[in-house]
Amino acid sequence: MKLTPLDIQQQQFRMRFRGFDAREVDTFLEHMADAFELLQRENNRLGEEIKRLQMENQAYREREDSFKRAMLNSQKVLEQMKQNARKAAELVVAEAEVKAEKILSRAQNRLSQLHEDIAELRRQRSQIEVQIRSVIEGHAKLLDIGKEEARIMEEEDSKLKLFKQSEPAVDNYGKN
């Protein structure tokens, strides 16, 4: 049975011989009704506060669920981004390796060409050295021949000088 403050105030008791003082009972009942009314108001207020808090709690739970879903979605997106980044990095590395192989191949071809060019230049150098040596030897022979001719001419000149020096004496003998 649910009691209200009005029920308490209107409660009537039967009177008996040597019963309670009716005024005291009425005063007590009025105090009880006032206290009960305060308790009932507090109870109603607390009940509404509980309902409000339950609704607020439900809203927080819904938000929490939304945040959890958002976090899971974010994690999935992050994982997908990581996978995409890994794939992109692998692709970049593969392309770099292909380019490096091409560069290395070109460098090896160039190195081979340079070795061939060096060998050709050495062969040409040897030919030029032989040609220069033969020119130098030819000039040396010409110089030797020139020296020999110069020596012979000097000898002839010296003979002529001697002969010329001796010739005036012959002239002197021929005229005498």
- For the chain, 176 residues long, give each residue's pLDDT as a single digit of tens: 577 778 777 777 777 777 777 788 888 888 888 888 899 899 999 999 999 999 999 999 999 999 999 999 999 999 999 999 999 999 999 999 999 999 999 999 999 999 999 999 999 999 999 999 999 999 888 888 888 888 888 888 888 777 777 765 545 555 54
> What's the Cα-to-Cα distance from 51 to each of 39, 56, 59, 61, 121, rounded to whole Å?
18, 8, 12, 15, 101
State the Rg of the chain over Cα: 68
Asked if residue 31 belongs to a domain, the reply is yes
Asked if residue 171 belongs to a domain, the reply is no
The two tokens of residue 170 are 């012959």
pLDDT score, position 168: 56
Surface-to-core class of residue 32, CB atoms within 10 Å of its CB (0-12 exposed, 13-18 middle, 19+ buried): middle
pLDDT score, position 19: 76
Say how far apart CA 125 and CA 118 lie, in whole Å: 10
pLDDT score, position 175: 52
Asked if residue 58 belongs to a domain, the reply is yes
Say how far apart CA 59 and CA 130 lie, in whole Å: 103
Asked if residue 47 belongs to a domain, the reply is yes
Q: Residue 18 carries which DSSP code?
A: T
Does the CA dihedral 107-110-116-118 come out positive or negative? Answer: negative
Asked if residue 71 belongs to a domain, the reply is yes
> What's the total number of domains in the chain?
1
Q: Dihedral (C-alpha) 122, 127, 131, 137: value to the nearest 10 degrees? A: 80
Say how far apart CA 14 and CA 3 lie, in whole Å: 20
Asked if residue 108 belongs to a domain, the reply is yes
Asked if residue 175 belongs to a domain, the reply is no
Asked if residue 53 belongs to a domain, the reply is yes
Q: Residue with structure tokens 């207020």?
A: 45
Q: Where are the alpha helices (DSSP H) in the chain?
A: 5-10, 22-175
Say how far apart CA 162 and CA 160 lie, in whole Å: 5
pLDDT score, position 8: 76
Which structural domain range is residue 70 located in? 5-163
Say how far apart CA 35 and CA 3 lie, in whole Å: 13
Phi, psi of 13 (to 5 degrees): -110, 150
